Structure 1
């Protein structure tokens, strides 16, 4: 079985919230795809409740595309401590952090239920499991802590 970088990371050595470039891969034609660890909660010390995480995911899926070029996907970790962000190209960590801050600020302060996409049976596979209240509270908490530019030291928060 191939090694998966996420499972070789020392989860006891990181200091969330942070954004970390996991890796950039180049395709046969030279196209770059970057994978980021967007960690909101300290691993093994807490987790975002599923409904709040689900709502954060749906809102960030659109907002990040508005503020960061090349977003392919943002998907929650099964441990519910953050997300994988996959992008075309090689955006810098500071660029990603700035876009994530904009998205979380919108969730914390501006987004209404009518703004949350994909909350019906046609557009979501588990549409009943959402909470804008939880998404708001977690977004505020993450922003208050600050999002580090480094996973192992609190930088640029």
Structure 2
């Protein structure tokens, strides 16, 4: 299939993990790295939508404090994780460090950025505590982030 994740056997992965899902070289030589940042076990568990929404806002804002190469942090429709898009080629450890630093910042946050009607399409649909719980759980499993399948 054309979509990389549709070719991934979701029954064999063991969340949480971070994996390189795609590497695109653009016509002029620029490279985009796409990482699957999986928080919940596919077809077993999922993240609540208000936590997903808040984590999206928090990660998008705080990750850019650690790297100017962050392009996007987009939630998966299945609510089990996010796609992290980065400029250039990245070493696994550097991605892990970026994610860990960002999630640590999220644990210390006092509000969800742009959680209002002016800056967000559903400003009332957020939970800082929910996003922090998800971040805390993912961070606690850092030693296993490199293991994608059992």
Distance 1:94 1:12 in 2: 26
Match of 2:141 among 135, 138, 145: 145
Does 2:36 match 1:37? yes
Measure, in 2, the Cα distance between the counterparts of 1:69 and 1:12. 35
Matches of 2:120 and 2:140 in 1, distance apart? 30
Distance 2:11 2:26 in 1: 33
Aligned to 1:96: 95
Q: CA deviation at 1:69?
A: 4.0
- C-alpha offsets along residues 5-25 of structure 1, whole Å, 9 cap, x if unaligned? 111101111111111001111
Listed one character per residue, the Cα deviations across residues 64-121 of structure 1 (whole Å, up to 9, x for unaligned) are 122234111000001111101111101122211111111212222x1102xx211111
- Does the residue aligned with 2:15 lie in a helix, a strand or coil? coil
Match of 2:131 in 1: 135
User: What does residue 8 of structure 1 align with?
Assistant: 7
5+ residue gaps, structure 2, are none
Number of aligned residue pairs: 149
Q: TM-score, normalised by structure 2?
A: 0.92
Q: Distance in 2 between matches of 1:152 and 1:14?
A: 4
Q: CA deviation at 1:141?
A: 1.5
Distance 1:102 1:32 in 2: 23
Match of 1:111 in 2: 109
| TM-score normalised according to structure 1 size | 0.88
The two structures, once aligned, show a CA RMSD in angstroms of: 1.4
- SS class of match (2:32): strand
- Kept in 2: contact 1:94–1:149 (CA 8 A): no
CA distance in 1, matches of 2:47, 2:71: 23
